[in-house]
A and B are shown apart, each in its own frame.
Chain A
């Protein structure tokens, strides 16, 4: 596999190292001269100097035959445009972009730059999973399959409290797949399983139904 990586910061350099260790062919492109000179001592011919958003730099790096282009600079607009030309001009089949500011994810989506990896979002998801009292947690997002799995903690006063799984009013396109009681121990629920305050409920759903589901289990938002 031939991989072009743009951006020789911590992410890009370590990616290049690991891929080379796995015997993949890699070219790393770095636009700051001092960083380039430092990397060049280690990676030698596998690193090139230049602004990775310029077409001739990408062409020199062999983008036309790349199986994968990874854009991991510190600038989201650069990462978006690198991936856009990789995909649309050089017809590279696989791209991966780094999203530095999660508020820019909407731009990545708008221009079809997927997958966009946001370290902030990854860590935030972990925090929300670890820290109790955040009403809803995304456990799994599969945008291509249009499928999500969320976890929601049942709060006091929620319509679902005291009801059985069969009786909870959920929108079409959603299904309760597990009810985890507060005391621990998860199980696959049956139709007559009763939902109690503090239970964690796992629901599989079509994207966009989150609000209809939280209104049943945690109508006041975060539980804590």
Chain B
């Protein structure tokens, strides 16, 4: 499977590395060339780079069509939008889905309200904030019962 990940932050780079380790073809797009270092760090076999490990990396802005194409959106089976910007993620996810027909599109959305609404519109959203709130609430409830 070809996995395209937009945004090589903590989330994007971790998913990129685990996807590569799982045997998928992985391409990462990020506007910051330095974010590449996050992909290099902790490669199996230590001193080898992301590319040597078999990964692809493209420097470019997520909402630029040219950058998405260079990163391989046309061949992608899975598209993960994981930049730090909700609005960028929601937009590029819809571009991947509607313009390039990528089969599985997963979007990181921090805002719980819009995560819910876009999920209803058919986007596969992942909302870490919602999970965090739930964990806090569960922890509060547990402590209260002690």
Interfacial residues, chain A to chain B (CB-CB below 8 A): 53-56, 75-78, 80-81, 85, 88-89, 103-104, 106-107, 110-111
Contact = CB atoms under 8 A, between A and B. Distances in A.
A78 B87 contact: yes
Interface stretch (B19-27, B36-44, B92-100): B92-100
Nearest to B85: A77
B64 A89 contact: no
Contacts of B121: 88
B7 to A, nearest CB: 13
A89 B94 CA distance: 16
A113 to B, nearest CB: 10
Given A104-B63, A106-B65, A111-B94, 11 more contacts: A54-B114, A55-B114, A55-B117, A77-B87, A81-B87, A85-B117, A88-B121, A103-B65, A107-B91, A107-B95, A110-B98
B78 to A, nearest CB: 20
B82 to A, nearest CB: 15
B111 interface: yes
Given A88-B121, A111-B98, A80 B113 contact: no
A85 B121 CA distance: 11
A205 B4 CA distance: 40
B117 A53 contact: no
A89 B121 CA distance: 10
Contacts of A111: 94, 98
B86 interface: yes
Given A53-B87, A77-B87, A81-B91, A110 B99 contact: yes
Contacts of A106: 65
5 contacts: A54-B113, A80-B91, A103-B64, A111-B94, A111-B98
